[in-house]
Each structure stands twice: as structure tokens, then as C-alpha cells.
Structure 1
Amino acid sequence: TIPQAVTAIQSYAFYHTAIAEVTVPASVKTWGKYVFSGCAKLKTARVSCNSIGAFAFTSCTALSSLTIYANCRTFGENMLTYCESLTAITYEGTIAQWNAITKPVNWMSSGEQSYNDYLKKIQCVDGYLEYDPENNVWNEVKNG
């Protein structure tokens, strides 16, 4: 767990380390690039700050649990590239809040691609979004 006193995480801070689980507190206001990139043993990440940096989890091949809190407002480019074990994201807000997050086209993939072939679902408190690879869109499925 990153301490509440931390307000910035520098580029490559945990790059290629053996970290297995991480919680990023709301106190973190700035991320460098590649903060957790290449952490092959990282399985669980919880992010409660208002942004996630570029290339944050690139090549975290074991990452299978990512929880993003509702106060998150921006995603960096390529933040989930090569995270083959990540099939779903748990988002602690509504579908409307998820849709309001500022995301570059390539937030979950590399280059100009807008999608990867593993992330299929974004679970929100009022339903979920399911990826339709045929039409390259996220479809909303509301609870009830």
C-alpha cells in the first residue's frame, strides 16, 4: 500500500519489480510513465486517485484484478497494454461516470489500436459495459 502522504509517483518507480499487489491512494495526484510496467507478478491493483498514468500497467501479464474508484477522471495512453490476464475491470462508480472519464483512444492497447483481445467487461455499480469486437464498441447493460 502506497502511503497517504505520497502525492506523486515518479516514472518507472516500480518498473519490473516483484510487487504482487498494490493500492494507490487518492492522495496521488501525478503519475510518471511506466510506473508499474513489467511487474510480471502483479495480480491485484486498486486505484483510488483521480488519474492513472500512461503505460501504468503495461506488460503486467498476471494482472487479473483491477479496481478503479469512482473519483478517477483520466486515463493515460497504453495503460493496460499486454495485460492478457485482465478480462474485467471493477469500477466503483456508475456507467455514466465511467463514460465521463477522459480516455485516449489507445488507453487499453498499443499504437493506434483502440482495443485489445482480452478485456471484455467493465463492471460498474449500476450495470456493466461489455465489449463487442465485431462493431468495436462497448455496450451498456444496466441492472434491473
Structure 2
Amino acid sequence: MIDIVAEEIRKRIDNNLKVLKELDEKYLKAYKPKEWPEGTSYNDYDSIHGGKKEPRIEDYYKERQKILALIELDEQLIVSIGLQADDGYVNLLENNQQKVKYYRFIKGYTQTKTAELLNLSERHVQRIEKEIKMSSLLSCSLDFR
């Protein structure tokens, strides 16, 4: 039973990686500079005026972050599949940031419940979540350099 669930999660990860690659290719095609000979520029991307919705970097970024989060959570699920108790898995995590990610994003606990389980203040959990967001923003911006 566990092997079947793990295989389904791996398939989801592969599918999300494929979707992410397609999204990146679509973005690069839409925003490629005119000087690049192979491919189209943004001006050529939509030759029929008003025929397609204008691609927006904000939409691309949100979609990319969503897919990356799904991939990361599925990878964490595969690791945690064999562990029955939360305490066993949480003890394997190295720092509070990873523990907050686990409780908030995988288990879906509230900030209050997460703070209670980790013996932290609710404000501290909020700060850790802010660090997680900032680190994901930074890693995404570095991916395009």
C-alpha cells in the first residue's frame, strides 16, 4: 500500500516538473529579447491584436511558486511516508524553519497549533514563515540569472 502511494506521489512530482519546464519555456518565448535570432520576441508572440491575453510576469511568478511548492511538499511526503508519528519525523528535521514548513504546509496546522507543538511563540512562527517566503523569493530570482 505504501509503495503504491509513493509511486503516485513520484508521478505527481514528474508531472509537476514537466509543467514547470513548459511554463519556463512559455515565459522565455514570450519575453525573449528581439536580438535573439532564434525564437520570437514579445511583439511577435501575439500577432493578432487582442487575440490572446498579454502574459504578465506576476502571473508567471505566482504559477511557478505554486508548482515549486507542490514539488517540495510531495518530496517531503515521500520522505515522511514510512514514518507514522509526527514526532518521529519532526525529530529528524534540523531546524525550526523545516519544522514550521512541515506543520504548516504538509500537516496544515494553524500558526497557533504549530507554535504550541514547537514550544515557540506564535509571533516567532510568523517570523519563520516570513523567512521561508523571503528565501523562496530569493531562490526564484537567482534561478533566472
Q: TM over 0.5, yes or no?
A: no
Compute the TM-score of the two structures, normalised by the length of structure 2. 0.23
Flag the structure with larger Rg. Answer: 2
Q: Which has the higher strand share?
A: 1
Q: Which has the higher helix share?
A: 2
Relative contact order, higher structure (CA 8 A, sep 6+):
2
